Amino acid sequence: MADFPLHSRATAPFEAKPILEQAGQAMGYIPALLAQMAEAPALLEGYAALSAIFRKTGFTAQEQQLVLLTVSVENDSHYCTPAHTVRARDADLDADVIAAIREGRPITAPRFEALRRFTILMIRDRGFVADADLDAFTGAGFTRANALEIILAVGLKTLSNYVNHIAETPLDPPMIADAFAAGRRVA
């Protein structure tokens, strides 16, 4: 395992303590991701702020989790994939939709599939999505603002997914049943 500390409220740098305290109160424990991010308080603060901002987007709770899970699978995150599997279930996202995202296969619900597909294209094409793909996305009932909000989600999950990669973040107990067999993708 990489040598990145799992900070507690007692060991975290001063600037990170309030965020860890808030997470501990809200969740009943400090997630390992945040405990590792605390090593760099600015990263932790940025991640917390972007998370709060993403919750204000035009997506429903189910759509938010669909996007965050899709990004985590696409980025091959062993930690965030099970984390968003749990959160997607908590948001009442259908088990078949969650399984499709985790397995990298199309979703049968057209609107959800349009969201999954556009999110993947945004990542793979690094924002250079074709006009036809944007038209297909908006044709499924999403807006141009939603397309920009996906960029917010990709940035948010890039922060956490890359921390998971470099720090080899251990799974929190609530996520163990949904562990994800990540494997580095080779071009």
Helix (H) or strand (E) holding 37: helix 32-37
- Nearest Cα to 57, choosing from 187, 131, 153, 182? 153
What secondary structure does DSSP assign to 126-143, as a single string? TT---HHHHHHHHHTT--
Residue type at position 37: M
Q: Say if residues 153 and 71 touch (Cβ distance below 8 Å).
A: yes
Token pair 């990542």 is at which residue? 123
Instruction: Tell me what pLDDT residue 184 has.
Output: 56
**Cα–Cα distance measured from residue 102 to residue 73, given in angstroms and rounded to the nearest whole number:** 6
Instruction: Tell me what pLDDT residue 187 has.
Output: 38
Residue ranges covered by each domain of the chain: 7-56, 59-178
The reply to whether domains 7-56 and 59-178 share a CATH topology is: no
- Per-residue pLDDT averaged across 159-187, rounded? 86
Q: 10 Å Cβ neighbour count for 137?
A: 23
Name the CATH topology of 7-56: 1.20.5
Considering the four listed CATH numbers 3.40.50.2300, 1.20.1290.10, 3.40.50.620, 3.40.630.10, the one that applies to the domain covering 59-178 is 1.20.1290.10
45-104 residue pLDDT tens: 999 999 999 999 999 999 999 999 999 999 999 999 999 999 999 999 999 999 999 999
**Cα–Cα distance measured from residue 85 to residue 32, given in angstroms and rounded to the nearest whole number:** 16
Class of residue 85 by CB neighbours under 10 A (exposed 0-12, middle 13-18, buried 19+): buried
119-145 residue pLDDT tens: 999 999 999 999 999 999 999 999 999
**What is the SS3 assignment for 166?**
helix
Q: How confident is the model at residue 7 (pLDDT cuts 50, 70, 90)?
A: very high
Instruction: Tell me what pLDDT residue 77 has.
Output: 95
Is the pLDDT at 185 greater than 60? The verdict is: no
**Cα–Cα distance measured from residue 17 to residue 62, given in angstroms and rounded to the nearest whole number:** 30
Instruction: Tell me what pLDDT residue 181 has.
Output: 81
Indicate the Cα dihedral angle 162, 164, 167, 169, nearest 10°: 170
14-52 residue pLDDT tens: 999 999 999 999 999 999 999 999 999 999 999 999 999
Q: Which token pair is 139? A: 């044709």
Instruction: Tell me what pLDDT residue 159 has.
Output: 98
